[in-house]
Amino acid sequence: MQDTSTIDIDLAAIEHNMSVIRRVVGDRCALCPIVKADAYGLGVSRVARRLVAAGAEMLAVYSLRQAIETAAAVNGATPILVLMPVTEIAREDELVRLMLGGQLHLVVHDEANLAALEACAQAIGVTLPVHLEIDVGMSRGGARPDEAARILRAIHEGGRLSLRGIFAHFSHSRCDAAITARQLEAYDAVIRANRRLIPDDVIEHVASTYALARSTRYHRSMVRFGLAWLGYGLEELEAPGAIMAPGDLRPVVRWSSQIVQAKEVPAGTAVGYGARWTAPRDSTIALVPVGYADGYPTQRGPSANGSLSVRLHAPSGAAVDAPVIGAVNMDQITVDVTGLCAGDARSWVGCTVELVSRDSGSRAHLPRLADAAGLIVHETLTRLNPRIARTVSISASSQAPQCTIEVVASRASDAAPQRLNSAVG
């Protein structure tokens, strides 16, 4: 086996998730998937076109370089929103082309940022579409309400920046309804106080995955989301009465490998560096050729206790979870398969191992794996090494990898993007 593991991206699951979100927010609310960090490490070239074909009317990234890569992936079919504070814009052909076409949307974070963007627009000779971020409590970028009011006035009276959007980002939308509601009110107060300075067609967007699933009051004219298109996020949402539930979405990612060795060891045998796990009985242990160099999380506690698990497809054909034992190594992990299948240890060699399973009931389901490692889903995904082979598939069921139809990865995003919704363009 040349590749020790494979990350599979289910295109049908992406389309399903986008259709679910569309039904929840309605036709008048635009969809803005976030594809930062190379679409969370899944490959923006293969993911972005699929999202546009599934109804995305804007795509959000973090940096100008990401904007260039994303625009190229979708052939300029939809505007790209750059979330970071931008103060300089090089005269690169790709950027100039995006700006001339009005496809590059930038964010104003404060008055200094406003002045820098005005200077950039003047130097290049374009009118820049901008979105104003109002800081309502995240304190991570954005302008405080009093400064936001001055920025709105300056944009209204100026000529080089065109206000296309206003937004906020909530700090507690996953877990605290009261704080989220107060932050929404702070946002609305700025809108009410400055209504005469705001064009009627401005795009309002305050909802990420958690807020859009919490209540329709957060949908406004656009929602921007990352975890939801990936099929995650709802497991962690603390919101009784939420309008979306975990089962509504399908996980997109499956990371798999196979067992390369298995052996029987007697009770009392130590496994791995530092003897962090000792067999409590005669045991069967299996070796999987994936480790922290690939991005598999390490166990953070003082001793390994089996909190990390994988999903195995046993020699019998059954799908079973098994604990990772001992230390996670650079390029291998050890799994306790004792009693999970009849037969000798050698029958396990070649069996499929899901390091990340699409089965939400598995302990190797990505949110459970991340939680067991003390991480979050975003971090776990973006830690996966780019050298790991990526494939794409179209599966009939997220629970049944054997039904997956493999597709050539380089052709994963050949579907023509749908026409951009004019309300956002």
What amino acid positions are annotated as catalytic residues? 36, 273
Q: Which residue(s) pair with 30 in the sheet?
A: 222
Distance of CA 423 to the CA centre of its chain: 25
User: In the chain, helix, strand, coil percent, each to 5?
Assistant: 30, 25, 45
Q: Would you state the structure tokens that stand for residue 128, as one six-digit string?
A: 């820049």
C-alpha dihedral, 383 to 387 to 393 to 395, nearest 10°: -40
Collapsed DSSP state (helix, strand, coil) of residue 223: strand
Q: Would you state the structure tokens that stand for residue 80, as one six-digit string?
A: 């790209």
Report the alpha-carbon distance of residue 180 to residue 58 in Å, rounded: 24
Is the CB of residue 425 less than 8 Å from the CB of residue 102? yes
| Residue 108 Ramachandran class (φ > 0 left, ψ -120 to 50 alpha, else beta) | beta
Q: Are strands 6-10 and 253-258 parallel, antiparallel or unpaired?
A: antiparallel
Secondary structure element (H or E) that encloses residue 333, with its range: strand 333-336
Report the alpha-carbon distance of residue 397 to residue 395 in Å, rounded: 5
Q: Would you state the structure tokens that stand for residue 250, as one six-digit string?
A: 């399908």
Q: What is the DSSP string of 64-123?
A: HHHHHHHHHHTTT-S-EEEEEE-------HHHHHHHHTT-EEEEE-SHHHHHHHHHHHHH
Q: State the DSSP code for 297.
A: P
Q: Which residue(s) pair with 133 in the sheet?
A: 167
Q: Would you state the structure tokens that stand for residue 120, as one six-digit string?
A: 């950039």
Is the CB of residue 290 less than 8 Å from the CB of residue 331? yes
H-state helical runs in 174-233 = 177-193, 209-214, 227-230
Is the CB of residue 252 less than 8 Å from the CB of residue 10? yes
